[in-house]
Amino acid sequence: MKKIFNLFDFSQKVDYKIEVMAGLTVALALIPEAVAFAMIAGLSPLTGLYAAFVMGLVTSIIGGRPGMISGATGAVAVVIVALAISHGPEYVFATVILAGLIQVLAGVLRLGKLIRLVPHSVIFGFVNGLAIIIFMSQLDQFKTANEAGELVWMTGAPLYTLLGLVAITIAIIVGLPKLTKAVPANLVAILVVFGLVAFLGIETKTVGDIASISGGFPPFHIPMVPLSWGTLALIFPYAAIMAGVGLIESLLTLNIVDEITETRGRGNKECVAQGTANVLSGFFSGMGGCAMLGQSLINVSSGARARLSGIVAAVSLLIFIMFAADIIELLPMAALTGLMIMVAVGTFEWASLKTFRRMPKSDVLVMVLVTLVTILLHNLALAVLVGVIISALVFAWDNAKRIRARKRTDEDGIKHYELYGPLFFGSVQAFNEKFDVLNDPDEVIIDFSESRIVDMSGIEAVNKLTERYAKQGKKLHLRHLSEDCRRLLNKADAIIEVNILEDPNYKVAVDDL
């Protein structure tokens, strides 16, 4: 049996007891979230539960990050809700399948490494925003419907009961690891609160109060949509956004779990796994999804490090749906609320608050802005995109100011400009201000040994500078251009005379992930 499990874990040493108990904990925590996200998307609760099962199982087996949990998520639900309302679940299933194919293509094209373009300040903002969202989402458990059907804050005995059970859950999660780490504190907390409510007959909100989770095995189902260009035109924008949101959230979660476990996942493999899981989710009546940071943190904080915990979580979830729905529906929401509050506390990067005075102001701005966009719009992909764009603009601005030119005239009367810094769209104006075309001698040399032409704007700037010298009857030479810079000039069909000496070679570090 161990040999079979090791096939899933790639010979990684596995603590099977910890993996199984962590998986059970994750399965219990997945239920209310999957149901809630399905309802947000305007779909039936089982649609979210089936997605959690298929996504969790497939990515646990073939994914690029052991220990990471995938399932139905709020980010995906927000993308497909409009389509679900306007065209129904069949079009949603077709969209999920198409999004999965896009994600598989992204993995095959090795686009997973693009996550490296996300700065650490953006990751901080993303994590902090998500932690606040997780915490704020738990506040709904402290509300109840009044006679008019409106949600109002609880009062009296129901509120005190819920607060007490949440406090017990948190106390166990915080205190038990100080006594023993033989069993996951998260699972013990859930079982203890469950036992108290069951044996003492305490009246409190349960999973069954949200929705029924009873069902069978996910039915294989080909989406009943017309196979036409019109259908493709309708679902493709949703599928593209869903694929992008899913990959961004999954790859960021992978990076965060990497840091926690001090190991390295495989981004491109995870892209393929997420895509495959979404394709199967669409065919098995699921709403699709991606990696879940909160559930992944529950898993790794419970001690799980291998694929087995995710497999156990997915299979346990299916068993709950098929055979134990009546029991699971009695699970107190207070236990899950306390668990998710602790997840939010653990997710928040408290160290980021200490870096406000040490980090550059631009990084602080990006971190705060990403956090606010995440909280206000609940759109994690958009928040990350905004952060990356602002970081890129700040980087471009900083580099635009770094271009320098050291000037000298040799014994032959030739003037030399030795450039430092990149020549690109942001530094073109500063570059042009370095040259005195009218007063320079008849022959001028620009030395690029400490600089390089980066883009079309840089090529055009050098081209126009050459024309300015030519109009004055003067000759301009470029020296020490790198091979990639020469290729840019050749492709642009520039009118520049290039003197090649010992040009530097620039190489980019790559990996095979």
CATH number (domain holding residue 434): 3.30.750.24
Please name the helix (run of DSSP H) or strand (run of DSSP E) that holds residue 158, with its range, or none: helix 156-179
For residue 232, what pLDDT is reported?
95
Q: Which stretches of the chain score pLDDT less than 70?
A: 1-12, 379, 488-513
For residue 45, what pLDDT is reported?
87
Cβ contact 348:132 at 8 Å: yes
Quote the CA–CA distance of 300 and 305 in Å, as a whole number.
Answer: 6
CA 84 to chain centre: 24
Whether 133 maps to a domain, the answer reads yes
User: 19: which strand partners?
Assistant: none
Asked whether residue 413 falls in the same domain as residue 341, the answer is no
Q: What is the pLDDT of residues 174-224, one digit of tens each?
A: 998 888 877 778 888 888 999 999 888 888 888 888 778 889 999 998 999
Whether 178 maps to a domain, the answer reads yes
Quote the CA–CA distance of 297 and 334 in Å, as a whole number.
Answer: 19
pTM higher than 0.85: no
For residue 64, what pLDDT is reported?
93
Alpha-carbon radius of gyration of the chain: 29
Asked whether residue 210 falls in the same domain as residue 122, the answer is yes
Whether 229 maps to a domain, the answer reads yes
Whether 269 maps to a domain, the answer reads yes
Q: How many CB atoms lie within 10 A of CB 309?
A: 34
Q: Say how many domains are in the chain.
A: 2
Asked whether residue 93 falls in the same domain as residue 241, the answer is yes
Residue type at 420?
Y
Is residue 116 packed enough to be buried (19+ CB in 10 Å), middle (13-18) or exposed (0-12)?
Answer: exposed
Q: In which domain, by residue range, is 453 found? A: 402-491
Whether 47 maps to a domain, the answer reads yes
Whether 205 maps to a domain, the answer reads yes
Asked whether residue 326 falls in the same domain as residue 457, the answer is no
Regarding beta strands 70-71 and 290-291, do their DSSP bridges make them parallel or antiparallel, or are they unpaired?
Answer: antiparallel
Asked whether residue 149 falls in the same domain as residue 57, the answer is yes
Asked whether residue 325 falls in the same domain as residue 468, the answer is no
For residue 509, what pLDDT is reported?
45
Quote the CA–CA distance of 375 and 369 in Å, as a whole number.
Answer: 10
Asked whether residue 319 falls in the same domain as residue 435, the answer is no
Is residue 318 packed enough to be buried (19+ CB in 10 Å), middle (13-18) or exposed (0-12)?
Answer: buried
For residue 7, what pLDDT is reported?
40
For residue 441, what pLDDT is reported?
93
Give the phi and the psi of residue 154 in degrees, each rounded to 5: -65, 155
Whether 44 maps to a domain, the answer reads yes
Q: Is 88 left (phi over 0), alpha (psi -120 to 50) or beta?
A: left
Whether 389 maps to a domain, the answer reads no
For residue 347, what pLDDT is reported?
76
Residues 214-248: b if buried by 16+ CB within 10 A, e if exposed: bbeebeeeebebeeeeebeebbeebbebbbbbbbb
Cβ contact 275:97 at 8 Å: no
Quote the CA–CA distance of 363 and 125 in Å, as a whole number.
Answer: 10
Cβ contact 200:63 at 8 Å: no
User: 71: which strand partners?
Assistant: 290
